[in-house]
């Protein structure tokens, strides 16, 4: 999947004009790219459109219009765009109650390494987690992690031929499975693959 460049972004003025329409497009797109795993964990699969929106919003909020600042945002978010043989996702642990969230995050240390996806009856794919920085400490995990699921050619070909996809988390403090991944999400993710 192509990485974003400065010429693919709208100026602050043009983005202000197009923001509502663009935002609506992204919200509709994201409905096919988020996968709840149980009641308190979600994978938000990223792609060029979701990252363009993130960058445009950051530029807008921070009023960044200089080339160097724009490039910094591109450098920060381009690594979250899949490369054609993988999926990249923001993994969020979500509890509405702050005290409950803090308690659970102490129980869920290393949960990011317990997430998995599986194509048909092939081996589970465990993601590479938090390549930019470690988000787990001795006492707790973060509520946000960045994951990369690397797929084999065999898995990619099977998915394109209609193979099923499942996902889950196998952690002592949190076990849930989604089998199968809903078709709309699966089809959206297959479009990320070369």
Contact 124, 116 (CB under 8 A): yes
* Res 48: pLDDT: 95
* Res 139: pLDDT: 84
Per run of 10 residues, the mean pLDDT along the chain (length 194 residues) is: 90 95 96 97 97 95 91 92 96 96 94 96 94 70 94 98 98 97 97 91
Instruction: Name the residue ranges covered by the structural domains of the chain.
Output: 96-194
Looking up tokens 């199968």, which residue turns up? 180
pTM: predicted TM-score of the whole model, two decimal places: 0.90
* Res 104: pLDDT: 95
Tell me how crowded residue 23 is: count the other CB atoms within 10 A of its CB: 13
């Amino acid at each position: 999947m192509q990485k974003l460049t400065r010429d693919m972004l709208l100026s602050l003025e043009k983005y202000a004009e197009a923001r509502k329409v663009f935002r609506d497009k992204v919200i509709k797109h994201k409905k096919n790219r988020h996968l709840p795993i149980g009641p308190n964990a979600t994978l938000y699969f990223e792609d060029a459109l979701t990252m363009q929106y993130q960058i445009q919003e950051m530029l807008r909020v921070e009023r960044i219009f200089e080339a160097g600042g724009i490039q910094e945002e591109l450098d920060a978010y381009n690594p979250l765009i899949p490369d054609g043989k993988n999926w990249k996702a923001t993994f969020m642990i979500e509890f509405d109650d702050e005290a409950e969230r803090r308690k659970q995050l102490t129980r869920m240390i290393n949960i990011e390494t317990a997430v998995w996806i599986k194509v048909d009856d092939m081996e589970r794919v465990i993601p590479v987690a938090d390549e930019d920085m470690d988000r787990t400490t001795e006492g707790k995990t973060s509520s946000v992690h960045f994951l990369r699921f690397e797929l084999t050619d065999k898995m990619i070909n099977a998915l394109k031929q209609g193979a099923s996809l499942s996902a889950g988390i196998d952690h002592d403090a949190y076990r849930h499975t989604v089998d199968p991944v809903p078709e709309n999400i699966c089809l959206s993710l297959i479009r990320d693959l070369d």
